Chains A and B, each alone.
Chain A
Amino acid sequence: MNLVYALLGLLGLYIYVSVMSLLFAGIDRKLVARMQRRIGPPILQPFYDFLKLVSKETIIPNTANFMFKVAPVLMLATTIALLAYTPFGFAPLFATKGDIIVFIYLLTLADFFLVIGVMSSGSPYGRIGASREVAMLVSREPAMMLGVFAVMWGISKFGVQKPFSLSSLYEHNIWELGPMAWVAGAILVYVFMSWLASEIEAGFFNIPEAEQEIAEGTLVEYSGRYLAIIKLAESMKEFIAASLVVAVLFPWQLNMPGIQGYIVNLLIHTLKVFIVLFVAKTIFRTVTGRLKISQAVNLLWTRVFAASVIGALILAMGVSL
């Protein structure tokens, strides 16, 4: 019975997140347009785009193998599975001890499926995009992992129910750990915002898709239904990644009992996600251009990962002292 409720919850979250993430994509485009003194498309434009793509003819290249068709579906499936482990203002549906590993694994796996699909298309442009995607993937995740593990370790010192679970983030948070942790927290805000920007490939990190440079990169061979699936999955992944940032750094929620408590917390969480995405995506992609892939990898290792190490060390000192 419990499992049935969890599955219903997953279905509900899937519908909610796909609507909200596409809605944010619309708001994002509108705001970018206004920042450039344009009017911009209607806010519901991503929904029209999605429906149009679904109704378009899907073209499969002659050189593609079967993974080309399977990968987008697997990517969306991974993203939907990820929803069960994502904190949305309340503890994740399937929260257990150590589920952060599953979360990171699934988040990375979605990108990995995209890379496999693109590599299977046989297009050299797609391969360039895929190799860039992998380089970014390898460079950006360690900084986030170190940050998340440090925060969760710090929180577990309070004696939470499920250590190293994303549900523990709602029991205690990093800002309760004292002045040293506030400094570490400020550094981690920078680390997580950079990670989020590179995860959603905005601004500096819009490298694998780079339309003007390598003809859409990862998405070059995808059309019709598969493109729609990938766009939806990427947009949901954006929401999920921002959800992680919100849960780790700004997890303040109302303590309301009952079903309406869940709904109110979900709405508060959504608002916080929109604010985080507004900074990390909308503003960042309006005011900056793209880096070279070598510069981006360099930046992620020397600036972001180093900051993450420093933040984690300061946090560790704050907790142990």
Chain B
Amino acid sequence: MIRLPLLSTVIKNLFKKPATNPFPKTEPVPVPENFRGKIVYNVDKCVGCRMCVTVCPAGVFVYLPEIRKVALWTGRCVFCKQCVDVCPTNALQMSDEFLLASYDKYDSKFIYVTPEEAEEIKKKQEELKKAKAQAKAKKDQ
């Protein structure tokens, strides 16, 4: 004798609504609290302590000694959140963003602090230094 235990379930299912989320037509399934999405990096808050470089298992961070900041390529990020936990100034945060598909792995949305930006920061820092030195010189006079 053939038993078909699924038969009743299947016939019942036929008259129910599909239990799916038709994503491109609707919003995606909402993310939970503390969801680990793409990293957000705030350059201004960064003090260049290199803790994130030490702790990152995926090698996302490159330390830039001239400006004492880090450059990030989140294409390699594994979303472990260790850099966020270790960052003393909260320059690194996890966002809710998870739709990260791209045609180019060096897309600008994956990179924080490009070489050009680094140059700019360097110039700014130098100007700031000069201004400070001038201010100091005036004070000393």
Q: Mark B1-30, 1 if CB is under 8 A from A, else 0.
A: 000101100110110111110100000000
Residue of B4, B18, B19, B22 near A287 (CB, 8 A) is B4
User: Which residues of B lie under 8 Å from residue A31 when comparing CB positions?
Assistant: 14
A52 within 8 A of B: no
Query: Chain A residues with Cβ under 8 A from B11's Cβ?
Result: 35
Tell me the complex Cα distance, A288–B7, Å: 9
Least Cβ–Cβ distance between A307 and chain B, in angstroms = 13
Q: How far is the CA of A33 from the CA of B13 in the complex (A)?
A: 10
Q: Which of A37, A283, A287, A288 contacts B16 (CB 8 A)?
A: A37
A residues contacting the other copy or chain, number (CB 8 A): 13
Selected contact of A35 from candidates B4, B14, B19, B22, CB within 8 Å? B14
| B20→A34 contact, CB < 8 A | no
CB distance from A257 to the nearest CB of B (A): 39
A39 surroundings in chain B (CB, below 8 A): 18, 20, 22
A286 and B6 contact, Cβ closer than 8 Å, known pairs A31-B14, A37-B13: yes
B-facing residues in A35-49 (Cβ within 8 Å):
35-40
Contact A286 B10 (CB under 8 A): yes
Q: Is the CB of A288 within 8 A of B13?
A: no
Complex alpha-carbon distance, A34 and B18, angstroms: 6
Could you say which residues of chain B place their CB within 8 Å of the CB of A287? Answer: 4, 6-7, 10
Residue among B4, B7, B10, B17 with most chain A CB within 10 A: B10
Q: Contact mask B69-91 → A, CB, 8 Å, 1/0?
A: 00000000000000000000000
A34 to B10, CA, bound (A): 9
Q: Which of B7, B19, B22 contacts A283 (CB 8 A)?
A: B7
How long is the Cα–Cα vector from A37 to B18 in the complex, in angstroms?
4
Contact B20 A37 (CB under 8 A): yes
Per the bound structure, the CA–CA distance linking A154 and B6 in Å amounts to: 38
Is there contact, CB below 8 Å, between B13 and A34?
yes
Residues of A with C-beta under 8 A to B18: 33-34, 37-40
The complex places the Cα of A286 from the Cα of B11 at a distance, in Å, of: 10
A211 → chain B closest CB, angstroms? 20
Contact B22 A36 (CB under 8 A): no
In the complex, A267 Cα to B6 Cα: how many Å? 32
Q: In whole angstroms, what is the CA distance A9 to B7 when docked?
A: 40
Whether the Cβ atoms of B13 and A35 lie closer than 8 Å is yes
* Alpha-carbon separation in the docked complex, A108 to B124 (Å): 83
26 A–B contacts, CB within 8 A, in A order: A31-B14, A33-B18, A34-B13, A34-B14, A34-B18, A35-B11, A35-B13, A35-B14, A36-B10, A37-B13, A37-B16, A37-B19, A38-B20, A39-B18, A39-B20, A40-B18, A283-B7, A283-B10, A286-B6, A286-B10, A287-B4, A287-B6, A287-B7, A287-B10, A288-B4, A288-B6
Q: In the complex, what residues of B have CB within 8 A of residue A37's CB?
A: 13, 16-20
CB neighbours of B20 from chain A (8 A): 37-39
Contact with A along B85-121 (1 / 0, CB 8 A): 0000000000000000000000000000000000000
For A283, what are the chain B residues with a Cβ–Cβ distance below 8 Å? 7, 10
Contacts of B7 in A (CB 8 A): 283, 287
As a 0/1 sequence over residues 4 to 38 of chain A, the CB contacts with chain B under 8 angstroms (1 = contact) are 00000000000000000000000000010111111
By a CB distance below 8 angstroms, the chain A residues around B10 are: 35-36, 283, 286-287
Q: CA A1 – CA B13 in complex, angstroms?
A: 54
Residues of chain A within 8 A (CB-CB) of B17 are: 37
B9 shortest CB reach to chain A, Å = 9
User: Looking across the interface, which residue of chain B has its beta carbon closest to that of A204?
Assistant: B2
- Chain A, residue nearest B18 (CB): A39
Cα of A33 to Cα of B19 in the assembled complex, Å: 11
Minimum distance in angstroms from B14 CB to a CB of chain A: 5
How far is it, in angstroms, between the C-alpha of A305 and the C-alpha of B53 when the chains are bound? Answer: 72
Which residues of A, 76-117, contact B by the 8 Å Cβ criterion?
none
In the complex, how many angstroms separate the beta carbon of B4 from the nearest chain A beta carbon?
Answer: 5
The 5 closest A-B pairs by CB, nearest first: A287-B6, A35-B10, A37-B19, A39-B18, A287-B4
